[in-house]
Amino acid sequence: MCGIVGYVGPGPAAAIIMSGLKRLEYRGYDSAGVAVVTSDDAGSRIALAKRAGKIGNLAGALDAEPMPVDGVGVGHTRWATHGVPNDLNAHPHLSFDGRVAVVHNGIIENHAALRAELGAAGIATVSDTDTEVVAHLLAQELEAGRRLPDAMRAVCNRLDGAFTLVAVDRDDPATVVGARRNSPLVVGIGDGESYLASDVAAFIDHTREAIELGQDQVVEIRAGEVRVTGFDGRPAQTRPYHVDWDTSAAQKDGYDWFMRKEIYEQPKAVADTLLGRYDTDGSLRLDELRISESELRRVNKIIIVACGTAFYSGLVAKYAIEHWTRIACEVELAHEFRYRDPIVDANTLVVCISQSGETADSLMAIRHASEQGARVLAICNTNGSTIPRESDAVIYTHAGPEIGVASTKGFTTQLVACYLLGLYLAQVRGTLFGDEIARLMDELEQMPQTIQGVLDDAEPVLKLAADFAEQPSVLFLGRHVGYPVALEGALKLKELAYIHAEGFAAGELKHGPIALIDQGLPVFVVVPPLGRDMLHDKVVSNIAEIRARGALTVVLAEEDDEAVGPLADVWIRLPKVSTLLQPLAATVPLQLFACELATRKGHDVDQPRNLAKSVTVE
Ligand code: F6R
């Protein structure tokens, strides 16, 4: 949440920062701003521009009144926490003396006390943000004779909460200083220029060489020079890395939305996540898994923690992991986990699923799990992010950057990583025979083609979205692994189309939700594959029950499942796959449906209202 860019180098700072912000707009789009420190014969000054609304508004303002070309600078695109999204609350914030400009991602929890302290010293704040106090505190430190990096360390030691801060000092026009605690910040190393950003996407046009910053670190960048220290002032260890995707991955490639592009990228993303995991000798290899086989054999409980769509992938994983490994597996919303005093010990494996690797709720959950002695494994899509760094082990999903705010290829590749984990545990613990694992791996390796088939046959789903554009409410039902698919289908519709959508376990319907069924209400039903006859037949009965009460049934069922024919007002035909893997195929039409329906309603699909990707506040 909130995107930050800092730049030092010979290039046009404001233009470079604006293009970086554009790439980070998925992190927040309530307002945006840029500050550039520039010098001429008259001395140094900070040029500042900020506007409520999307970056386009700021770009318009800069076209009308351009910024100075030379200098160093910072920029910000905001997801509002404290203070409504208006020009005044937009970042950067200036200090009382105009010497410091600062941008912030996170929440300064003790801002009220600091504001009162500044007030007592005669410094009044002008905005409603928690951020502005930082600008004034930094200026006080500079006034006392400190340099900006020392001032930043001193101020950070006084702040509570989560924050990435990036600041410039009018009187030091060659330096940008950043700091991070519980919120992301990466460094980009260019040729004679340096970048700070919430995400590598901001500087991928200029360099693919990056440095991961650790917790509680301050970074100073000058042209071609980077210095990192802890909040205590000691030099800190950092990890340089090469970004394994390039600028082409961050383009829409002719699609109307990043989301639609990412839906269509799923065959490749799934194939990339599977790549190199299965040896020709028939054994699974998870190279990044830094937990020994003997430790994995000792695991007697798995707890999956995640939020939103990632949580739903965890719900699917539970069915597969328990079935294949016979290890008890709980799935918990990360923000609930640590507040209920969970029973966790050294034999518990906590699996954290996070596309961004920065979700604050998930990060806090794994910290709690580690403190209790559990081993933590991350399933993550973002190299260099905090969650894998703070975990004992990681399985990276190789989906490439996910820019659409609604997760799509993130979800399917999380499913693949969960299946790989389940099968690997089964291999290590001997709960599945080699030929059983081989059969499942064969099917997983077929999945890119299977998903491609679903995408190629998408026309009926797109037409359905057009027909349903005026529907005020849609329900989704599923059973077993179809239940999380139903939840995911409903979430996608809520967040993109802003209509009432709910997912239910089909068996739960008669315990209350069936009262919602009314004449013409669209209900999507995910039908388990044929072959799990009891499960399948129960869901078919559920369809009959809702149809008898007037529901308009949209049935996702295998292409030859003739039992559903008479009960389906609309039949979305799914390819034949085994039960546990069905979510990989069944979710795709629901993603397309939500994307198309939101498009028909005229919504901004990549930037739905009130949302942002990478939720870095609790
Ligand atoms: C929904 C969506 C969110 C995320 C959730 C977790 O489409 O994208 O629900 O899944 O915020 O994000 P990560 O996976 O980055 O931890």
DSSP state string for 550-585: T-EEEEEEETT-GGGGGG-SEEEEEPP--GGGHHHH
pLDDT on residue 483: 98
Determine if residue 562 is left, alpha or beta; phi over 0 gives left, psi from -120 to 50 gives alpha, anything else beta: alpha
Q: How far is ligand 1, taken at its centre, from the CA of residue 493, in Å?
A: 14
Task: Please tell me whether the peptide bond between 92 and the residue prior to it is cis, using omega within 30 degrees of 0.
Answer: yes
Contact 31, 87 (CB under 8 A): yes
**Distance from C-alpha of 83 to C-alpha of 85, rounded to nearest angstrom:** 7
Spans of the chain, pLDDT less than 70: none
* For the CA of 406, the nearest atom of ligand 1: 7
C-alpha of 282 from chain center: 34
For a ligand 1 pocket test, name from 311, 332, 359, 409 the mutation site with the most ligand atoms within 8 angstroms of its C-beta. 359
Ligand 1 cavity residues, CB under 6 Å: 307-310, 354-356, 359, 362, 406-407, 491, 495, 614-615
Encoding tokens for residue 317? Answer: 């994983």
Encoding tokens for residue 609? Answer: 């209202």
The residues pairing with 477 across neighbouring beta strands, listed in sequence order, are 504, 525
Contact 196, 75 (CB under 8 A): no
Q: How far is ligand 1, taken at its centre, from the CA of residue 574, in Å?
A: 26
Residue nearest atom 7 of ligand 1, based on CA coordinates? 406
Place of tokens 């910040």: 185
Distance (Å) of CA 534 to CA 528, 531, 539: 10, 9, 9
Q: Which residues contact 311 (CB under 8 A, 6 or more apart)?
A: 331, 333, 334, 353
Residue nearest atom 11 of ligand 1, based on CA coordinates? 308
Q: How far is ligand 1, taken at its centre, from the CA of residue 359, in Å?
A: 8
Q: Which of 59, 56, 73, 70 is nearest to 4 (CA)?
A: 73
Q: Which residues contact 363 (CB under 8 A, 6 or more apart)?
A: 182, 386, 387, 390
Q: How far is ligand 1, taken at its centre, from the CA of residue 80, in Å?
A: 18
**Distance from C-alpha of 468 to C-alpha of 597, rounded to nearest angstrom:** 7
Backbone phi, psi, residue 209, to 5°: -95, 125
Residue nearest atom 10 of ligand 1, based on CA coordinates? 309
**Distance from C-alpha of 424 to C-alpha of 576, rounded to nearest angstrom:** 24
Residue nearest atom 13 of ligand 1, based on CA coordinates? 354
Q: Which residues are catalytic?
A: 2, 613
Question: Helix-strand-coil percent breakdown of the chain, rounded to 5?
Answer: 40, 25, 35
Angle in degrees, CA 66, 70, 75, rounded to 5: 65
**Distance from C-alpha of 413 to C-alpha of 444, rounded to nearest angstrom:** 11
Residue nearest atom 9 of ligand 1, based on CA coordinates? 308
Q: Which residues contact 375 (CB under 8 A, 6 or more apart)?
A: 291, 295, 299, 346, 348, 349, 350, 392, 393
Q: Which of 82, 99, 85 is nearest to 51 (CA)?
A: 85
pLDDT on residue 462: 96
Calculated CA dihedral for residues 577, 581, 582, 585, nearest 10 degrees: -90
* For the CA of 308, the nearest atom of ligand 1: 9
Instruction: Please name the residue ranges forming H helices in 190-289.
Output: 258-264, 266-274
Side-chain-side CA neighbours of residue 554 (13 Å): 23
Structural domains of the chain, with CATH:
3-250 (3.60.20.10), 258-454 (3.40.50.10490), 459-600 (3.40.50.10490)
Q: How far is ligand 1, taken at its centre, from the CA of residue 310, in Å?
A: 6
